[in-house]
Chains A and B, each alone.
Chain A
Amino acid sequence: MGRNGPATAGFASLGLLIAAYLAWTRLSGGLPVCGPLHGCETVALSSYSELFGVPVAVFGLAFSIVLFGLSLAWWRRADRHALLGLYGLGLLGVLFVAYLTYLELFVIDAVCVWCAGYALTVLSGWITAAVTLRRNPAD
């Protein structure tokens, strides 16, 4: 549909699941399982995995919950402020995960597939929101 509600809500819930898994492993004292692709442990053990004493994954989880709520508000109630929120917060998210990915590649020297997956959901959600915003101008 023109509102792309299921798409933005879908990307947000996918990100929510990934962030929930990463936050859970972190808070239970474990390490994310990467399978044959290593790097998750290194990233999870790096000093960048926490901000102000709070695991980055927890910020990601909160961020995804907000995105999901905005997606619902736009999808079910056609609240254009929610769409603008999705677009604006999505842009912030895209820029920030780009920064985190830069840290992984050039500072931590390890890439975590979970983090990359999360970054993709943020990017996809933001692109969807941007396209939707263009197709649904203010009346």
Chain B
Amino acid sequence: MPGQAPTPGPASRRRQRRAQSAGRAAGRPRTSNRTPATSRPLWQNPTAITTVLAVIATIILIIVVNSRPTTPNNPSVLNPPANPVADSVPRQGTILGSTSAPVTMDAWEDFQCPACEIWTLQWEPNVVQEFVAAGVVRYQFHDYAFLGTDHTPDESLNAAVAAQCASAQGKFWQYHDWLYANQNPNGENQGWFLQARLDAIAQKVGLDLAVFDTCLVDPARAAAVHTEQDAGTALGITETPSIFVNEKLQALTTYAALEATIRSLAGLPASPVGSSTSGAGASPGASGSGQP
């Protein structure tokens, strides 16, 4: 072979160099079989020093990483909903309650919107318990998924599509409750409503994951969410949550005021003072988080 010419190649040069340096290399591992002329202590060998420093640095690094404060808002943790819609409440798709109920309520929401979370966790359970379960209100959820519009991926759209896919399996409200129980407390579009987490929620809710995953990427689902948002825009919606009672937009100042409105429309006597479940401290309307 031409490479085997008698001229000194790299290998022989290497051998030369090795021979030259054998005397100085006592501390190197696996060179002890060569008798060094002068012995250098291990602690003066740069390779040994580097090795020890690297190991110490790694140990310190791992200790620091392990002891870092665990963030309470961890997307890999799923919290079960504290106040889910009771299974006994009749439902069909995104509609809760009797279709023959005298009062209709329409809630336009974005699963990423913090004010919608307040509405869903603090006001909606009261509405459901007091009016929907009693057959007084027919309550319908609508998608107004706009907070992720300028982002890729659009997590508001992702979450809306996921909830619609759960609806296709008859579990919209369970999925809806899980989404709001697991909203990112630090804001929108930070990777909380991506497929892995939506899948994890689907499993918690008991959906057929294969069907769900096929549905998630179905462009018709995204188109349907967009169509519904356009319908909301046509109604004059600019922020979420937008809550309509008998097609009239509500101000959402206090739960007592909303309760009184529903009672009067339903022909019910005004609520006795103090009987209203006034746990709704924060106002979902005041938060104004809906601005994109």
Contact = CB atoms under 8 A, between A and B. Distances in A.
Interface of A: 1-2, 28-31, 41-42, 44-47, 51-52, 84, 87-92, 95-96, 99, 133-139
Contact of B190 (A29, A44, A96, A137): A29
A84 B28 CA distance: 13
Interface residues of B, number: 41
A89 B54 CA distance: 7
B50 interface: yes
Contact of B196 (A1, A31, A87, A89): A31
Contacts of A46: 76
A65 to B, nearest CB: 18
B252 interface: no
Nearest to B57: A92
B6 to A, nearest CB: 19
A135 B152 contact: no
A102 B59 CA distance: 15
A44 B195 CA distance: 12
B39 to A, nearest CB: 14
Contact of A30 (B20, B46, B62, B152): B152
A44 B61 CA distance: 20
B47 A84 contact: yes
B58 A95 contact: yes
13 contacts: A2-B14, A29-B152, A30-B153, A45-B76, A46-B76, A87-B47, A91-B51, A92-B57, A92-B61, A96-B58, A135-B14, A135-B17, A137-B25
Nearest to B75: A45
Contacts of B25: 137
Contacts of A31: 191, 194-196
Given A1-B10, A45-B197, A139-B21, A88 B51 contact: yes
A29 B152 CA distance: 7
Contacts of B153: 29-30
B271 to A, nearest CB: 45
Contacts of A138: 21, 24, 46
Given A29-B190, A47-B70, 10 more contacts: A29-B189, A29-B191, A45-B76, A47-B71, A87-B47, A91-B54, A96-B58, A135-B14, A137-B17, A138-B46
